[in-house]
Amino acid sequence: MEMIYSLIAASAAMLGAGLVLKFHKWADKNSILIINFAAGVMLTIAFTHLIPEGITSNPNAVFYVLIGFLVMFFLQFVILFHPSHDDDECETHSPASIASVIGLSFHSLLDGLIMAVGFEAGSGTGIFMTTAVILHKLPDGITISGILLHSGASHKKIFNFSLLTAIFTPVGTLLGIFLFKNVSPDILGALLGATAGSFIFLAASDLIPETHKCKNRLAPIMLFVGAAVILIVEYFLHI
C-alpha cells in the first residue's frame, strides 16, 4: 500500500513539472515568477512543516537545520562554485540549480521515508501523512522545473532531473520499509532539520536574490503566493 501512495506522490511531482514544460513559452518568459513561487514554497515547507516535525521527533533538530544550511553552503560555494554573469539582465547560476536538485531529491527521499514510517505507526497516520506529501508534490514539481528552466536547462534535462527528484520518493519508501522500519525519532528529526536548512539556504541565497536583478514587479508577490499555497494545503489537512 505504501508503494502505491508513493508512486502517486511521484506522479504528482511529475505533473507539476509537466505543467511547466507544457506551457514552456509562458514559463520561459516568466521564469522569475516561478523562481519566487519556488522560494515561497521552500521557505514555508521548511518553517511550518519540516522544522516543527523535526523538533517533535528530536529536540535538537534546530542544530541540524544549521548543519543542513552549512552543508549546502559548502556544496555550492566550495565544490560547485558560484559564478556570476554580469552581462545578463537576470543572472542565472547553474550551481544553484544543481544544489536545488540535490536539496529537493533529499527532500523527496525523506518524503518517501516519512510515508513508510507513518504507515508503521498506523494506517490512519500513514494516510494523513501520505495525503500531505501528495498535495505538496505538485508545487515541488513546479519548483524544480521552474528553477532549471530559469537556469537555461534544456527541456530534456528538465524532464530528466524532475524525474530523478520524483523517483527519490518511492526510493525513500522502499528504504523505510526494508531498512528503516524502526528508525529512531532522533535520526528522523535530524534528517528533517537538515532538509529544512538546505531549503532555507537555497531560497535565501539563490532564489530570492534573483528578484533584485529583474524589473518584474510581480515577482516578489509570487513569493507570497508560493507560501500561501502551502499554508492553505496545511490548513485544510488539519481540519
Q: For residues 187-209, give the mean pLDDT.
A: 82
Model confidence band, residue 156 (pLDDT cutoffs 50, 70, 90): confident
Model confidence band, residue 54 (pLDDT cutoffs 50, 70, 90): confident
Which stretch of 67-76, 123-132, 197-206 has the lowest confidence by average pLDDT? 123-132
* Predicted confidence (pLDDT) per residue in 64-107, tens digit: 999 989 987 887 666 554 434 343 444 444 556 677 777 778 77
Q: For residues 120-136, give the mean pLDDT.
A: 60
Residue 40: domain span: 2-82+91-237
Calpha distance 72→121 (Å, rounded): 32
Calpha distance 145→160 (Å, rounded): 10
Q: Is the pTM of this model over 0.85?
A: no
Contact 93, 82 (CB under 8 A): yes
* Predicted confidence (pLDDT) per residue in 7-19, tens digit: 888 888 888 888 8
Q: What is the DSSP track for 118-174?
A: HHHH-HHHHHHHHHHHHHHHHHHHHHHHHHHHHTT--HHHHHHHHHHHHHHHHHHHH
Q: How many domains does the chain have?
A: 1
Residues in the chain: 239
Calpha distance 188→191 (Å, rounded): 5
Side-chain-side CA neighbours of 176 within 13 Å: the count stands at: 26
Contact 219, 208 (CB under 8 A): no
| Mean pLDDT taken over the chain | 77
Which stretch of 43-52, 91-100, 106-115 has the lowest confidence by average pLDDT? 91-100
Q: What is the DSSP letter of 180?
A: -
Cell numbers found for residue 16: 507539476
